[in-house]
C-alpha cells in the first residue's frame, strides 16, 4: 500500500484504483483522457496512423487486463506511456517493418498522413505558407530519421511535456540517459535542419 499512498495525489492513479473496485466509468475517463495522446505518441514513433490507432487500442486492452493486478508504482501517465513505448518499439523491430520506409509524418501527430498543401493565392501569404510547410516537412523527416531511443526521448519530453525523470521511467532507463539522448537528438536535428537555421 505504500506505493499507492505515494501516488495518491495522481487523479489518474485514483481512477485506475476506482476501476479496480468496479467503477467502469473510471476506465472510460482514462480512455477519454489518454486515447488521442497515445495514438499521437505512437504515430510520431512509427509513422503509420492506422497502426498507431491499433497500438493505442492494444495498450488499453493491456490496461483493462491489468485491472486486478495493477499497483501504482509510478504516475499513471508514466505507466501507460511505458506500455505504449514498448509496443511501438516492438512494432519498429518487426522484420517486415524494417523494410518499410518511415516517411511523411507530421511531428505534431495531430493529423493523419501529411495533408496535401492547400492552394493559396499568390502573394506574401502564399510564400509564408510554403515556407512553413517546407519547415514542417523537414522537421518531420528529421525527427523520423533519429535513432529509436533518441526519437522516443524527444517525443516524450518535447511533444508530451514529460520531464527527464518521467521520460526515463517510461523508457525504463536512467534520467542521465534521457538527458544524453535528448542532447544527441538536438544535435542531430540541428545538423539535419541547418539549412533552416
Q: Residue 116 has what pLDDT?
A: 35
Asked if residue 137 has pLDDT above 60, the reply is yes
Contact 107, 165 (CB under 8 A): no
- Residue 4: pLDDT band with limits 50, 70, 90: low
- Going from N- to C-terminal start, the domains of the chain cover 2-112+120-196
**Neighbouring C-alpha atoms within 13 Å toward the C-beta of 6:** 9
Tell me the Ramachandran region of residue 126: left when phi exceeds 0, alpha when psi lies from -120 to 50, beta otherwise. alpha
Reported as a single tens digit per residue, the pLDDT across 32-59 is 999 999 999 999 999 899 999 999 999 9
- Residue 17: pLDDT band with limits 50, 70, 90: very high
pLDDT, averaged across the chain? 84
Reported as a single tens digit per residue, the pLDDT across 80-130 is 999 999 999 999 888 765 445 344 444 444 444 443 334 445 556 777 767
Q: Residue 112 has what pLDDT?
A: 44
pTM (2 decimals)? 0.76
Q: Classify domain 2-112+120-196 at the CATH class level.
A: mainly alpha
The mean pLDDT of 127-156, rounded to a whole number, is 86
% of the chain beyond a pLDDT of 70: 81
CA 45 to chain centroid, in Å, comes to 7
DSSP notation for 2-50:
HHHHHTTT-HHHHHHHHHHTT-HHHHHHHHHHHHHHHHHHHHHHH--HH
Asked if residue 75 has pLDDT above 80, the reply is yes
Higher pLDDT, 166 or 119: 166
Asked if residue 3 has pLDDT above 80, the reply is no
Amino acid at each position: 500500500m505504500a506505493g499507492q499512498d505515494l501516488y495518491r495525489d495522481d487523479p489518474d492513479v485514483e481512477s485506475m484504483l476506482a476501476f479496480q473496485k468496479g467503477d467502469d466509468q473510471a476506465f472510460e475517463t482514462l480512455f477519454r483522457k489518454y486515447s488521442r495522446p497515445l495514438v499521437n505518441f505512437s504515430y510520431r514513433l512509427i509513422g503509420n496512423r492506422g497502426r498507431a490507432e491499433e497500438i493505442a487500442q492494444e495498450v488499453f486492452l493491456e490496461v483493462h487486463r491489468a485491472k486486478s493486478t495493477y499497483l501504482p508504482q509510478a504516475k499513471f501517465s508514466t505507466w501507460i506511456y511505458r506500455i505504449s513505448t514498448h509496443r511501438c518499439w516492438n512494432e519498429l523491430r518487426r522484420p517486415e517493418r524494417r523494410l518499410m520506409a518511415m516517411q511523411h509524418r507530421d511531428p505534431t501527430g495531430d493529423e493523419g498522413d501529411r495533408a496535401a498543401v492547400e492552394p493559396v493565392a499568390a502573394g506574401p501569404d502564399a510564400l509564408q505558407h510554403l515556407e512553413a510547410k517546407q519547415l514542417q516537412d523537414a522537421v518531420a523527416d528529421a525527427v523520423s530519421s533519429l535513432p529509436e531511443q533518441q526519437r522516443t526521448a524527444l517525443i516524450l519530453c518535447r511533444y508530451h511535456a514529460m520531464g527527464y525523470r518521467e521520460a526515463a521511467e517510461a523508457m525504463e532507463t536512467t534520467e542521465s540517459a534521457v538527458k544524453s539522448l535528448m542532447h544527441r537528438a538536438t544535435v542531430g536535428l540541428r545538423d539535419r535542419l541547418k539549412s533552416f537555421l
